[in-house]
């Protein structure tokens, strides 16, 4: 099920570059504006899988208040930028999470919250739990803890913001956009 | 960047309140100094524009479109800040001063996002729907009187024009619901249209009451009749219920919270804009908040004496009154829970329509006298 990507070679990256005289001077400020906008308006997808979701809700609630960072929860994946996978992912649940991820528009980011989403957690020996969501979606930030405290999740979000501030607009961390494989779930789904 | 946890203590909130008050006073002071500037030096330019109708029309349209786009940036920030205050949170804080850059960041991000069109969607309908719902809103701004001079076009049938044009929002919403080929979208679209058309009836009845009393449909004339006394004070026995009905209907037409069934998150993922991403979704948001400003401005025109007020220039008075009314709408939005669809329709047809008929009959009697 994993998404296998061929690492981009240096020659390939060079071949994408379009030589415009003074192009960097034009593109760099535009890029900085885009980075600023993207990092300051991370809309998250409303869904929680298990106990970590309680901590995620607490992070959004008045005491910690994610809205300070411009983060609001959107119900539809079409309007979301970041997916916080909060909790364990069973083998049955995994295709649906992959599907939600595929429905999100680029650029999109994933935060694996808690030990289970990162690596299986205490259910690592179970046959029904996926050992980490990075088996089927590319994860940007791993937030450890069981469950992580809201401060820890906010720390992860700030780390993600730093990461977005470094990435280029046309490519993601210098990589090519991740290849998307549609997952077919039954006939009527 | 270190993680700081703010508690919204009483002293902090008091600081926010007084800080906001001081900023507002400074803005008002600057605005009241504006009329003292030598504006008459612009007269040759204005004459030149006045002589060229196409240039005139283009400039007016340019100002209106930019005003709509820019005030929405502020209104969305205000809404989120207001929601924060209502829920003992802080709201946007780290993007720009007090989070003022938040909406700008959101807008740029939405414009840079991938534009997804579902495979089985009706492509043309899907593409045109956001603009279909934004255009009527923009058109209604044409007859909104900011002051006796600041009105894009003083149409004789202004109030009728507003009613005729603003209902076309339903077309865009229905197009969005149908075009996306999504069950949540079509349910949301159908609900929105049913709600919009039902609540249009008491709303039109109340507009008609004001029109009957002021004997004119021109927006400018309606305000000019209130030069000495606001409608809501002069005819308070009928105008207070009329204003309350108007406010309720405006909330229902704006799909705001007691009536936000078309985009009910817990039932229909996001209603009619479920499948919209990026720029097209931004247009729906723009239309919603522009409509919000227009509804409040229309209520100010009809009931609260438009631009009239002491000391400050008329444009500032109009904007101030409109902002206060918008704050009332936000207050209602963040206080009340959502209704059920049958309750919404029942409330309109069984309660609002009969009351508005009675109110209109009494108004007609007063007008006859």
In degrees rounded to 5, what are phi and psi of residue B116?
-95, 130
Q: What is the pLDDT of residue A2?
A: 53
| B108 to A37: CB separation less than 8 angstroms, yes or no | yes
Q: What is the pLDDT of residue A179?
A: 46
| B3 to A158: CB separation less than 8 angstroms, yes or no | yes
Average confidence score pLDDT of chain B:
85
> How far from the centroid of its chain's Cα atoms is residue B81's Cα?
18
- pLDDT mean over B154-165: 88
Which of B223-227, B237-241, B264-268, B292-296 shows the lowest per-residue confidence on average (mean pLDDT)? Answer: B264-268
Q: Which residues of A touch B114 (CB under 8 A)?
A: 105-107
Q: Which residues of B touch A34 (CB under 8 A)?
A: 108, 112
> How far from the centroid of its chain's Cα atoms is residue A49's Cα?
16
What is the helix (H) or strand (E) element at residue A85, kind and residue range?
A: strand A82-86
d(CA A186, CA B70): 47
Q: What is the pLDDT of residue B244?
A: 92
d(CA B223, CA B308): 8
**Stretch 81-120 of chain B: residues touching chain A, C-beta under 8 Å:** 83-84, 87-95, 99, 101-102, 104-109, 112-116
**Stretch 64-83 of chain A: residues touching chain B, C-beta under 8 Å:** 64-65, 67-70, 72, 74-76, 78-79, 81
Residues 6+ apart with CB under 8 A from B133: B169, B171, B172, B173, B175, B176, B283, B284, B287
Residue B353 has pLDDT above 90, yes or no: yes
d(CA B323, CA B71): 11
Q: What is the pLDDT of residue B1?
A: 45
| A78 to B87: CB separation less than 8 angstroms, yes or no | no
Chains A and B: how many Cβ contacts under 8 Å? 106
- pLDDT mean over B100-128: 87
| B102 to A158: CB separation less than 8 angstroms, yes or no | no
- Hey, is the C-beta of B284 within 8 angstroms of any chain A C-beta? no
Query: How close does chain B come to A162, measured CA to CA in Å?
Result: 9
- pLDDT mean over B334-340: 86
Mutation target to probe the A interface, by most A beta carbons within 10 A, among B6, B87, B89, B263 is B89
Q: Which residues of A touch B105 (CB under 8 A)?
A: 36-37, 40-41, 70
- Hey, is the C-beta of A93 within 8 angstroms of any chain B C-beta? no
| B102 to A107: CB separation less than 8 angstroms, yes or no | no
- pLDDT mean over B188-212: 90
Bridge partners, residue A86, by sequence:
A113
Residues in chain A: 189
Considering CB atoms only, which of B95, B116, B274 is closest to A70?
Answer: B95
Retrieve residue A179's tokens. Answer: 């290849």
d(CA A2, CA B151): 61
- pLDDT mean over B1-11: 55
Over the stretch A130-169, which tens digit does the pLDDT of each residue have? 888 888 888 888 888 888 888 888 888 888 888 888 776 6
Q: What is the pLDDT of residue A171?
A: 56
Closest residue in B to A62 (Cα) is B89
| B5 to A151: CB separation less than 8 angstroms, yes or no | yes
Query: Which residue is listed with tokens 């900023």?
Result: B23
Closest residue in A to B264 (Cα) is A75
Neighbours of B1 (CB within 10 A): 10
Q: What is the pLDDT of residue B6?
A: 52
Closest residue in A to B263 (Cα) is A75
- pLDDT mean over B196-225: 89
- Scored b (16 or more CB within 10 A) or e, B110-141 reads bebbeebbbeebbeebbebbbebbbbbbbbbb
Considering CB atoms only, which of B93, B108, B281 is closest to A34?
Answer: B108
Q: What is the pLDDT of residue A1?
A: 45
Query: What sign has the CA pseudo-torsion B347, B353, B358, B362?
Result: positive
Alpha-carbon separation of residue B239 from B33, B217, B231, B326, B354 (angstroms)? 34, 17, 7, 19, 16
Range among A23-32, A99-108, A166-175 rated most confident: A99-108
Q: Which residues of B touch A72 (CB under 8 A)?
A: 80
Considering CB atoms only, which of B8, B105, B269 is closest to A36?
Answer: B105
Q: What is the 3-state secondary structure (H, E, C) of B305-361?
A: CCCCCCCCCHHHHHHHHHHHHHHHHHHHHCCCCCCCHHHHHHHHHHHHHHHHHHHHH
| A41 to B115: CB separation less than 8 angstroms, yes or no | no
Query: How close does chain B come to A173, measured CA to CA in Å?
Result: 17
Residue B359 confidence class, pLDDT cut points 50, 70, 90: very high
**What domains lie within chain A, and their CATH numbers?**
43-162 (3.40.50.12280)
Closest residue in B to A61 (Cα) is B89
- pLDDT mean over B339-364: 90
> How far from the centroid of its chain's Cα atoms is residue B8's Cα?
30
Residue A6 confidence class, pLDDT cut points 50, 70, 90: low
């Amino acid at each position: 099920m994993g998404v296998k990507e061929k690492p981009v070679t240096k020659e390939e990256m060079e071949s994408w570059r379009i030589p415009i005289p003074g192009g960097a001077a034009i593109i760099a400020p535009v890029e900085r504006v885009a980075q600023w906008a993207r990092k300051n308006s991370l809309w998250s997808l409303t869904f929680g899988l298990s106990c970590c979701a309680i901590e995620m809700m607490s992070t959004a609630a008045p005491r910690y208040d994610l809205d300070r960072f411009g983060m609001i929860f959107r119900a539809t994946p079409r309007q979301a930028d970041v997916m916080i996978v909060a909790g364990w992912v069973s083998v049955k649940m995994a295709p649906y999470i992959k599907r939600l991820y595929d429905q999100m528009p680029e650029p999109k980011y994933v935060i694996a919250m808690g030990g289970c989403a990162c690596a299986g957690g205490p259910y690592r020996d179970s046959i029904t739990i996926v050992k980490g969501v990075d088996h089927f979606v590319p994860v940007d930030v791993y937030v450890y803890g069981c469950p992580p405290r809201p401060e820890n999740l906010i720390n992860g979000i700030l780390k993600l913001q730093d990461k977005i501030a470094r990435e280029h607009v046309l490519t993601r961390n210098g990589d090519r956009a991740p290849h998307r494989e549609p997952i077919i779930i039954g006939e009527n789904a | 960047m270190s993680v700081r946890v703010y508690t919204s203590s009483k002293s902090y909130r008091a600081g926010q309140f007084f800080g906001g008050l001081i900023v507002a006073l400074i803005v008002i002071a600057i605005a009241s100094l504006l009329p003292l500037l030598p504006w008459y030096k612009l007269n040759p330019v204005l004459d030149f524009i006045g002589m060229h109708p196409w240039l005139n029309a283009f400039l007016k349209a340019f100002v209106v479109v930019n005003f709509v786009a820019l005030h929405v940036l502020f209104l969305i920030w205000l809404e989120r800040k207001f929601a924060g205050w209502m829920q003992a949170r802080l709201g946007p804080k780290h993007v720009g001063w007090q989070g003022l850059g938040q909406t700008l960041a959101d807008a740029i991000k939405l414009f840079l996002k991938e534009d997804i069109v579902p495979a089985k969607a009706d492509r043309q309908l899907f593409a045109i729907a956001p603009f279909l719902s934004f255009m009527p809103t923009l058109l209604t701004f044409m007859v909104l009187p900011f002051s006796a001079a600041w009105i894009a076009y003083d149409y004789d049938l202004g109030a009728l024009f507003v009613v005729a044009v603003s209902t076309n929002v339903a077309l865009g919403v229905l197009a969005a619901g149908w075009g996306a080929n999504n069950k949540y979208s079509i349910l949301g679209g159908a609900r929105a249209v049913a709600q919009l058309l039902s609540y249009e009836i008491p709303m039109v009845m109340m507009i008609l009451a004001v029109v009957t009393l002021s004997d004119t449909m021109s927006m400018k004339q309606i305000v000019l009749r209130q030069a000495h006394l606001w409608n809501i004070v002069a005819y308070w026995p009928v105008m207070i219920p009329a204003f309350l009905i108007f406010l309720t209907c405006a909330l229902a037409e704006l799909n705001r919270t007691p009536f936000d069934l078309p985009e009910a998150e817990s039932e229909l993922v996001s209603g009619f804009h479920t499948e919209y991403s990026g720029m097209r979704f931004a247009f729906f948001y723009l239309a919603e908040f522009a409509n919000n400003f227009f509804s409040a401005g229309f209520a100010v025109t009809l009931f609260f004496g438009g631009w009239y007020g002491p000391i400050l220039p008329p444009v500032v008075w109009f904007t101030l009154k409109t902002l206060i009314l918008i704050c009332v709408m936000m207050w209602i939005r963040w206080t009340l829970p959502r209704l059920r669809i049958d309750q919404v329709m029942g409330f309109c047809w069984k309660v609002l329509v009969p009351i508005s008929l009675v109110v209109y009959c009494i108004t007609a009697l007063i007008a006859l006298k």
